Amino acid sequence: MTDTAGRASATGDRRPKALGSGADLRADLRMVGRQLGYEQLAFWRNPIGAVFTVGFSVVFLVLLASSAGHSRSAAIGNLEVVQYYVPGFTAYGVMSACFNLLAITLIIRRETGLLKRLRLSPLPTTAMVAAIFLNAMVISAVQVVLLLAIGRLGYGVHLPSDPGPLVVVLVVGALSFAALGVGVSTFIPNQEAAGPVISIVFFVLLFLSGLWYPLAPGSTLARISAWFPMRHMITATFASFDLRPGVSPWAWRDLGVIAIWGAGGAVVALRRFRWAPVRG
C-alpha cells in the first residue's frame, strides 16, 4: 500500500519502513505488540463503540435464540434454529470487526491525517499496519468466544466436535474480509460518509444473506446472495456446526468464494490505498 509518486512528492511522504530481521525483527515484533496494545486501549476506551461492536452480535443472538426456542427449520434439515443462529452470528462477529469496523477506522484516520502522521513517525509502517489488522482479529476473537459460550451454556448448542473446520473458516474469513475492508475504504471520499455508506451496504447484504433466518437452498434470495461473500461466510461457518449425518463440516466451495473475494479486495487495496486525505 503506497502513495503515488506525485502525492508523495507533494506531501513529503517517504517510502514505507519495513520490519527488520534477526534481533531487529524481535524488537519490531515487540513494537507491534505495543502498538496493538494502544489500538486495544483506544477501542475499549470508547465504550459506546465497543458496546455496539461487540454487544450487537451478543444481544441479537440472545433475542433471536430466545424467541426461536426449540423451533426447527426445514431449510437447515429440520435442525433447531438456534443451531443456525450461533454460527451465523459468529460469522457476523468476524465480518463486522474485520470489514465494517476496519474500513470505517481506516477512513477516519486517513481523512484526519492520522495515517499520514503515523507513517512519517519512527514507527515502521508494517508494524502500524500489522497492529491495525491484529486489533481487528482480537476484537473478532472476543466476539467468537462470547457467542460460542452463550450458545453452549445458554442454549445447549452443539459445538463442532472437530474445531479444525471452524478455525479455518474464521481465519480465512478474517483475512478476506479485512482485505475487503481496506479495499472498500479506498472508495469512500470522506469520513462523514464512512459510517452510513459502509453500514448500510453491510447490513443490507447481511439481510439478503440469511443472517436473521435460514434461507431455503435454491430459493431466489439464496441465489442472489450467493454472489456475495457474506452468504458464503455464514454457510461455511454453519457447516462446521451441522449435525446431520453424512454432511461434511468442510465447506470448500464457500471457502473458495470467500478467498477469491479477499484476493480481489487485496488487489484493489494495493492499487488504490492512499495514506493522505483524499480531499488534501
pLDDT of 244-254, one tens digit each? 888 889 999 99
Task: Report d(CA 132, CA 145) in Å as an integer.
Answer: 20
* Amino acid present at 209: S
At 164, give phi and psi (nearest 5°): -55, -55
Q: What is the DSSP string of 153-188?
A: HHH-PPPPSSHHHHHHHHHHHHHHHHHHHHHHHTT-
> So what's the pLDDT on residue 127?
83
How far separated are the first and last CA of the chain, in Å rounded? 18
> So what's the pLDDT on residue 230?
95
Task: Report d(CA 250, CA 7) in Å as an integer.
Answer: 45
> So what's the pLDDT on residue 13?
44
What cell numbers appear for 42 in the block? 483506544
For residue 173, give the nearest of 265, 274, 83 by alpha carbon. Answer: 265
Low-confidence ranges of the chain (pLDDT < 50): 2-16
Helix (H) or strand (E) holding 152: helix 125-155
List the domain boundaries for the chain. 5-272
> So what's the pLDDT on residue 73?
87
Task: Report d(CA 90, CA 158) in Å as an integer.
Answer: 14
